[in-house]
Structure 1
């Protein structure tokens, strides 16, 4: 649960709605990126302060403001106050350990979820909190640091592809959520490819490194499930919401998001089962190797039992042991040892114990 409960001690005892950043600061300075558009015009720039963004509210354009960096609580407060956000919403925005959720505040809808990225080199899943505020004429996104998965959305806006420039903020919100859900599936598929490759490695050489990878993938899949499942829960509510902020034309698209999250959860459960199977195969392989070792040791012990018996007889301290004074007794003893050893090895091999 460490990924979900970050620095919770910082929130103990403080007043409800008190805005305190909880998490790891990932940028030195917060920035605001603006994309303001309609079907004919496009205005894209970095804002120096919030007043420039608020001035766009007087037009009939769609205003998308993306805030990078959540540690600057005065900036978050000024944005929240400018757009009429509740103090508890601002508190949720700056608390990066929040569980994914959605809240309908009549004038706007608040979404909080995890945006993920996959590192192809080390196979690591990286995540950051993303908050979305859907208003009538504006859409705000708050993320922990610059760089995200929304570049294709920005390109569609710039090139006026599809219906995004002819639609409102609700369709833009859907597009962002759709991109996030698609990325969930992409990450699950990439992890799944590595999980499937593990089976041959487990069968060929079950070792501690393989066991560590199995446990790492199980941890990633558990985290993905804890991330995607609440997203599906609030998308069920979102697809049924009755709000002036959602146009009827957008509702069918929202239901498509449910299909994506259901597909993601089914894939996660399938790979979790596969990892459990991998773990069983690993344990079986280790047990088989241990059994082979024990069998080999048992065979050696069985061979040495008669040899030890013979050596023990002639190692006694009795004065009258006739064979001790026979000239070739030492060589005869070794001959007997070899005959016994070869006979037992032949017996074990005939019975396929070797």
Structure 2
């Protein structure tokens, strides 16, 4: 730990103050370097994310068409005593860095050690695995933090069993409040169709939040575009660079999801009914729209970068134009002043009564003549 602390303290001050996203990435990489994942046999329960102090928490929705039981902060012993016969269970787990508790849950529901390893590996590509006893899905959950105006990305692991769905989250906070509200209200299909429909509803909510994040991106980019056209400050270019990095991360989250949703729609999964796959097709369409939005905003960011360079270039051209005009005006004036500053005695204008007036007339006439040429050429 002393070695890692020293690395953090050696980080540049600019990184600590101005680039919290880069700092987070850098610290996460340091902790990963210190882990002992490399060389371990497959299926080892090792958490690969950032070390957290968040508590471990489990909440449940136990429901059928007529009844609903909602409980927070339940223990594993209480979970074992639940009567889930002829009912559907949604178990939500927050704090997967508590490896022993997660491992106990996986043992309770006979989840394979390789799947446990995937759950604890929080920076993997969205994927879906179909086993004999369950369906495992890894997906990126994106949220927009209005305080930091940053996109928060988190891996969500979902295990769909018969009449049971388990969601594993890194920390507290998710995008599922609307789904919880629908379960509490008991309206529509969600309490009637079973766990596979809830599985669809959770994925659909995650994809819908991609559009919310994209909308926030669009608002920021429009503000930046207006500021660039008005002033073109260096800070706007730095913000564009940060947004570009975030967009790359979002693209890595959204693009592989298309393959996952396509498999769910196309393949014959044991725990997903044919009637539910119709709704999955709608999620697939939304995923394609999200991908199109990502590509659109990527192009928008690139065009804003070009616009910034153009604005800065135009500003520089205006400065150079002004300096050139001033230089061209004063070059002949300097020549005339230098000519009459020579030390020869036989200069006729020196002894002329109107020589001084002639000198100033020549200077002013040269400047006016130069400006007239610029005006005629429409350079000014």
- TM over 0.5, shorter chain: yes
Whole-angstrom CA distance in 1 between matches of 2:53 and 2:65: 34
> Do structure 1's residue 220 and structure 2's residue 271 form an aligned pair?
no
Which residue of the partner structure matches residue 307 of structure 2?
281
Which residue of the partner structure matches residue 344 of structure 1?
370
> Do structure 1's residue 101 and structure 2's residue 127 form an aligned pair?
yes
> Do structure 1's residue 262 and structure 2's residue 270 form an aligned pair?
no
Which residue of the partner structure matches residue 3 of structure 2?
none
Whole-angstrom CA distance in 2 between matches of 1:220 and 1:74: 33
Which residue of the partner structure matches residue 185 of structure 2?
159
Q: 1:52 aligns with which of 78, 87, 90?
A: 78
Which residue of the partner structure matches residue 235 of structure 2?
209
Which residue of the partner structure matches residue 145 of structure 1?
171
Contact 1:25 1:69 in 2 (8 A): no
**Number of residues paired by the alignment?**
354
Report Cα offsets for 1:39-77 as digits up to 9, x if no partner. 112111124422322333651211111111011111011
Which residue of the partner structure matches residue 314 of structure 1?
340
Contact 2:176 2:205 in 1 (8 A): yes
Within-5 A mapping of 1:1-354: 6=29, 7-9=31-33, 10=35, 11-56=37-82, 58-326=84-352, 329-354=355-380
Whole-angstrom CA distance in 2 between matches of 1:205 and 1:265: 32
**Residue 14 of structure 1, CA deviation:** 2.4
Q: Provide structure 1 residue ranges, at least 5 long, that are not aligned to the other structure.
A: none
Contact 2:54 2:171 in 1 (8 A): no
**Residue 292 of structure 1, CA deviation:** 1.6
**Residue 8 of structure 1, CA deviation:** 4.3
| SS of the residue 1:110 aligns to | strand
Q: TM-score, normalised by structure 1?
A: 0.93
| SS of the residue 1:164 aligns to | coil
RMSD: 2.2
Q: TM-score, normalised by structure 2?
A: 0.87
Contact 2:251 2:291 in 1 (8 A): yes
Whole-angstrom CA distance in 1 between matches of 2:197 and 2:53: 30
Whole-angstrom CA distance in 2 between matches of 1:318 and 1:68: 95
Contact 2:62 2:84 in 1 (8 A): no
Q: Provide structure 2 residue ranges, at least 5 long, that are not aligned to the other structure.
A: 1-20
Whole-angstrom CA distance in 1 between matches of 2:89 and 2:44: 28
**Residue 322 of structure 1, CA deviation:** 4.1
